[in-house]
Amino acid sequence: MGILYGHRCVLCGADFPVTTSRTLQLCPDCAAAVRREYRCNEVISIAGADGTIAPLYYRGTVRNAMKRFKFSSAAYCADWFAAQMAVALTSQLDDWQPDLITYMPIGFLHYRKRGYNQAELLAKLIAKPLSLPCEATLRKRWFVGKQSAQKDYAARQSNAKDAVLPKKGVNLTGKSVVLVDDIITTGATAAAAVKALREMGASRVYVLAATFTPRK
């Protein structure tokens, strides 16, 4: 069979030929690398959360793809990341029994610059095939987090504490909520979001991230 379609690899950006009409999003090298070194099965602990999973490690080509997705308007990466997350969530469905998918908010300035919230994009893609509602429940305090990349761990922890706040008028009483995020690093911001969701009445809060930064 001859080459029918060319695809661009989501992870490395290389064009690769395929011989079937099946949609392949990774080149063979990246597909092998994901199986070999990027799958995350670690138990991740976020303060206050009933459970946390992230299907991938934030490193190598996965990290590069996430950066493109986050900072270069490469929204096409969302499909692949969302698919990995949907598989992880599906494995937890019986246990988590989610009523609602929500997502980590981003600051207004980031939103204006990028035109989208990467966590919101992922959350919507995950919620749709599972027929779960996806709603905004949180807001970000606009002045926090701007320089967080430069701050050390302790500063980030205290900074994150009040960085994520409940959105007014949202009631989550008795609901099992899944919070979607792109990257878990220290977990401080996720913990702040979990706390806010609990304040809004959620009975259970789970965190589903695309990637987890491995501990050195």
Stretch near Zn ion under the rule CB under 5 A, chosen from 9-17, 70-78, 124-132, 178-186: 9-17
Minimum CB separation of residue 28 from Zn ion in Å reads: 8
For Zn ion, the closer of residues 9 and 160 by Cβ is 9
Binding pattern for the stretch 119-138 against Zn ion, x by CB under 5 A and - elsewhere:
--------------------
In sequence order, what are the residues at sequence separation of 6 or more whose Cβ sits closer than 8 angstroms to the Cβ of residue 190?
46, 49, 52, 104, 179, 181, 184, 207, 209
Minimum CB separation of residue 27 from Zn ion in Å reads: 3
8 Å CB contact between 45 and 54 = no
DSSP assignments along 56-115, one per residue? EES-HHHHHHHHHHHHS--TTHHHHHHHHHHHHHHTTHHHH--SEEEE----HHHHHHHS
Stretch near Zn ion under the rule CB under 5 A, chosen from 25-33, 76-84, 179-187, 193-201: 25-33
Size of the site for Zn ion (CB under 5 A): 5
For Zn ion, the closer of residues 48 and 60 by Cβ is 60
Stretch near Zn ion under the rule CB under 5 A, chosen from 26-34, 94-102, 109-117, 181-189: 26-34
Minimum CB separation of residue 71 from Zn ion in Å reads: 19
Buried b (16+ CB within 10 A) or exposed e, 53-73: bbbbbbbebbbebbebbbeee
For residue 168, which amino acid is it?
K
Q: What are phi and psi of 199, to 5 degrees?
A: -60, -30
Q: How far apart are alpha carbons 110 and 135 in whole angstroms?
A: 19
**Environment class of 45 (CB within 10 Å of its CB; exposed 0-12, middle 13-18, buried 19+):** exposed
Q: Does 11 bind Zn ion (CB under 5 A)?
A: yes
Given 2, 6, 12, 19, the residue binding Zn ion (CB under 5 A):
12
Q: Does 30 bind Zn ion (CB under 5 A)?
A: yes
For Zn ion, the closer of residues 12 and 83 by Cβ is 12
Stretch near Zn ion under the rule CB under 5 A, chosen from 10-18, 108-116, 117-125, 129-137: 10-18
Q: Which residues would be at the binding site for Zn ion (CB under 5 A)? A: 9, 11-12, 27, 30
